Structure 1
Amino acid sequence: MKAFRCRVCDNPLHFDNSVCVSCGTALGYSRSERAIVPVDEHGQYVDATGLVWHVCRNLGLSGCTWLSRVPGGQCSVCDLTRTRPADDDPIGLEQFPLAEQAKRHLIAELDTLGYPVRSKEDDPEQGLAFDLLSSVDENVVIGHADGIITIDLAESDDAHREKVRANLAEPYRTMLGHFRHEFGHYAEWQLVRGDELMSRCRELFGDESKDYQAEIERHYDQGPPADWASSFISTYATMHPFEDFAETWAHFLHIADTIETARDYGLLTVGAISDFSQFRDVVTGVWIPLSIALNQMNRSMGKDDVYPFVIPPPVLDKLDFVAALLPVDAASA
């Protein structure tokens, strides 16, 4: 995540700021500029080309500050949400903003990485959409199918999410993590095509044709293999090759985004990720020392580790593979 500053008073800003707390200037996020920009009293921003942009209509509903091309319309990232809680569901509506915040973070990171996100409206067959569903009155299963990512809004609640995390003995569980993981399924569907890539993917992650339901049952009945930590990033990754890929993709995004943030805030002096010939060199040379330091800082505050994972050599190979599927140009961050 970039370190943003107010263009009016140069005060530091956070990604979701709608108003500068120093000078009171109203703000919006310009996706094309990847910058927080000032908007006038009408919620408008005129870019360098003369185009007029407007604050998203969902500012009050979900806290969205991204700019729309249409007055009174919603931004391109809100357009990706196909389903949201009903207006008569106060619990779902209360949980909705945190999910949208995580989605905006995901899309901003994908923009940084150069991933061309296409909506279902633009590409009904291959595009992306999100169903952000309330589980107040129905069971919601988090997952991905044919470009539709489904998220249970109950995961916005800290107490609920921590209870699930403890029950599943997971070291880490966040709303942003869900979005990154499920997008990993979409990314595999979109990017792993052609005989050469498919062959290498199977070599690293296993045969994706394994019966998924049978593997789920095996995983929850028997648990992970005793030696799972020597080849996988998490126990969940051992369930099925699809889950191994999605978990690896999520960690690729965890690592890339945290390093970008550390660089932008002056905590790292290394070059951009794109300066490295292999992502494994980023992990071993930058991420592992940084994550150890971050973990120790959290422990100094009596908090859990920021990154409670160990990366064995086979996972370095998997991270290399997913990182090479798209251009990583952190220099543009």
Structure 2
Amino acid sequence: MRRYACPNCSNEVHFRNSECVNCHSRLGYVPAWDQMFYASPDDQLWHDGATAYKACANRQSIYCNWLVESDDEEEHCLSCRHTLVIPDLSSDENREHWAALEEAKRRLFYSIEKFKLGVGDLVHQPDTALRFEFKADTLTPDGKTTRVLTGHDRGLITINVAEADDPTREKYRKAMGEPYRTLIGHFRHESGHYYWDHLVWNTPKLDAYRAIFGDEREDYGEALKRHYEHGAPAGWEATHVSSYACAHSWEDFAETWAHYFHIVDGLETAGWYGLDGHTPDAGLKRTPGGWSDAGPYGAAEFRPLMDAWVPLTVAMNAMNRSIGLSDFYPFVLSDTIFAKLEFIHGIIHDRG
């Protein structure tokens, strides 16, 4: 995530901000330009030369600060329009959870835009577009709970809104023995399944994928059953980025895909704050204030990313320990995991 400033007064603002705390300008983000625009408190539109923008229809309800061109018939921003189902808003808790989910999704869409991956055409080819449903568990008349399972099905990503509740998510994290579980992690993981369908399946990359991640034709249901019954094999840390990645080839890919997004976005943030931890000759262009416009999202080579990432994580882990927190980055990346991450890098950047 890059660093932003209020375009009116130059005070630092953050990706989620809809108002500058210094000059009180109304802020709006345009993903196509990766820029914050401003309007006075009394203006209804934001302007960039000849182009005018309006607020996303969700600005008031969930504080979405993304903008839409004023002459666009669509009332929702690029991110919000891809949500097809939202939870029952008669519950204040559901509204808060929905807002948190959409904020995390906007960060996913930020990365998708930076990588130029595309999200499909909701109007003309909706069945192949990236879509989301945010649902809550429900009680049946007999008092039983019908659980909503987070997952992916041919481009449709369903997320249980309970994942937006910090105590609930932490409970799941501990119960499943995970070192890391976040909303943005869910979005990045599930999007990996979507992009596997578009970038790997039925392409020349499939054989190379199977050589690195294993054969996806293994029965998925049986693989998950085995994983939940017996757990990951001993020594899984040497070959997989998480224990869940051991469950099936598809899950290994999705976990690695999410991890690659973590790395690249983390490096972009570190660069903009002068914490990138790599030498000027590491092969990644940077400006005195941080990365260049392309930054790590546009890095042609994979290894320079890792040369920057590894020392940064060592330093951040040490920083966390110095103030009594758990490790910022509780992972160890082996050569095998490097190869998987490099495959992800390749299919993102070598799409022809």
The answer (yes or no) to whether the contact 2:115–2:298 under 8 Å persists in 1 is: no
CA shift, 1:112, in A, is 1.2
Q: Which amino acid aligns with 1:111?
A: E
The answer (yes or no) to whether the contact 1:29–1:67 under 8 Å persists in 2 is: yes
CA shift, 1:90, in A, is 2.8
Q: Which amino acid aligns with 2:65?
A: T
Give CA deviations for 1:53-111 in whole Å, capped at 9, x if unaligned. Answer: 11112112221000023489221211010100123233211211110000000101111
The answer (yes or no) to whether the contact 1:2–1:261 under 8 Å persists in 2 is: yes
Q: Indicate whether 1:62 and 2:70 are aligned.
A: no
CA shift, 1:277, in A, is 5.1
Q: Indicate whether 1:278 and 2:301 are aligned.
A: yes
The farther-off stretch of 204-213 and 80-89 is 80-89
In structure 1, how many angstroms separate the alpha carbons of the residues matched to 2:258 and 2:227?
A: 20
| Structure 2 counterpart of 1:320 | 342
| Structure 1 counterpart of 2:111 | 109
Secondary structure of the residue aligned to 1:262 is helix
Give CA deviations for 1:214-247 in whole Å, capped at 9, x if unaligned. Answer: 0111001111111211211111000000000000
Q: Indicate whether 1:98 and 2:100 are aligned.
A: yes
The farther-off stretch of 189-198 and 163-172 is 189-198
Q: Indicate whether 1:304 and 2:312 are aligned.
A: no
| Structure 1 counterpart of 2:46 | 45
Identical counterparts, % of pairs:
37
| Structure 1 counterpart of 2:317 | 295
Alpha carbons of structure 1 residues 85 and 275: separation in structure 2 relative to 1, 3 Å: closer
CA shift, 1:195, in A, is 5.0
CA shift, 1:18, in A, is 0.7
The answer (yes or no) to whether the contact 1:9–1:23 under 8 Å persists in 2 is: yes
Picking from 205, 214, 229, the partner of 1:206 is 214
| Structure 1 counterpart of 2:271 | 263
* Runs of at least 4 residues off by over 4 Å: 274-277
In structure 2, how many angstroms separate the alpha carbons of the residues matched to 1:248 and 1:28?
A: 32
In structure 1, how many angstroms separate the alpha carbons of the residues matched to 2:257 and 2:160?
A: 20
Larger relative contact order (CA 8 Å, sep ≥ 6): 1
> Structure 2: which 5+ residue stretches go unaligned?
140-145, 285-294
Alpha carbons of structure 1 residues 216 and 275: separation in structure 2 relative to 1, 3 Å: closer
Give CA deviations for 1:286-321 in whole Å, capped at 9, x if unaligned. Answer: 111101111111222222222111111111111011
Q: Which amino acid aligns with 1:43?
A: Q
Q: Which amino acid aligns with 1:243?
A: E
For the aligned residues, what is the CA RMSD? 1.8
CA shift, 1:162, in A, is 0.6
Secondary structure of the residue aligned to 2:36 is strand
> Structure 1: which 5+ residue stretches go unaligned?
329-333
Alpha carbons of structure 1 residues 225 and 52: separation in structure 2 relative to 1, 3 Å: same
CA shift, 1:24, in A, is 0.8
| Structure 2 counterpart of 1:14 | 14
Secondary structure of the residue aligned to 1:289 is helix
The farther-off stretch of 235-244 and 189-198 is 189-198
In structure 2, how many angstroms separate the alpha carbons of the residues matched to 1:274 and 1:149?
A: 24
Alpha carbons of structure 1 residues 187 and 265: separation in structure 2 relative to 1, 3 Å: same
The answer (yes or no) to whether the contact 1:69–1:75 under 8 Å persists in 2 is: no
Q: Indicate whether 1:217 and 2:235 are aligned.
A: no
The farther-off stretch of 56-65 and 99-108 is 56-65
CA shift, 1:187, in A, is 0.9
In structure 1, how many angstroms separate the alpha carbons of the residues matched to 2:185 and 2:95?
A: 21
The aligned runs of 1:67-216 (5 Å cut-off) are 67-70=67-70, 73-137=75-139, 138-194=146-202, 196-216=204-224
| Structure 2 counterpart of 1:331 | none
Q: Indicate whether 1:24 and 2:32 are aligned.
A: no
In structure 2, how many angstroms separate the alpha carbons of the residues matched to 1:9 and 1:275?
A: 30
Secondary structure of the residue aligned to 2:53 is strand
How many corresponding residue pairs? Answer: 326
The answer (yes or no) to whether the contact 1:54–1:69 under 8 Å persists in 2 is: yes
CA shift, 1:262, in A, is 0.6
In structure 2, how many angstroms separate the alpha carbons of the residues matched to 1:27 and 1:274?
A: 25
| Structure 2 counterpart of 1:4 | 4
Give CA deviations for 1:122-147 in whole Å, capped at 9, x if unaligned. Answer: 42231111101122543111111111
In structure 2, how many angstroms separate the alpha carbons of the residues matched to 1:260 and 1:307?
A: 16
Secondary structure of the residue aligned to 1:130 is strand
TM-score, scaled relative to structure 1:
0.93
In structure 2, how many angstroms separate the alpha carbons of the residues matched to 1:222 and 1:236?
A: 12
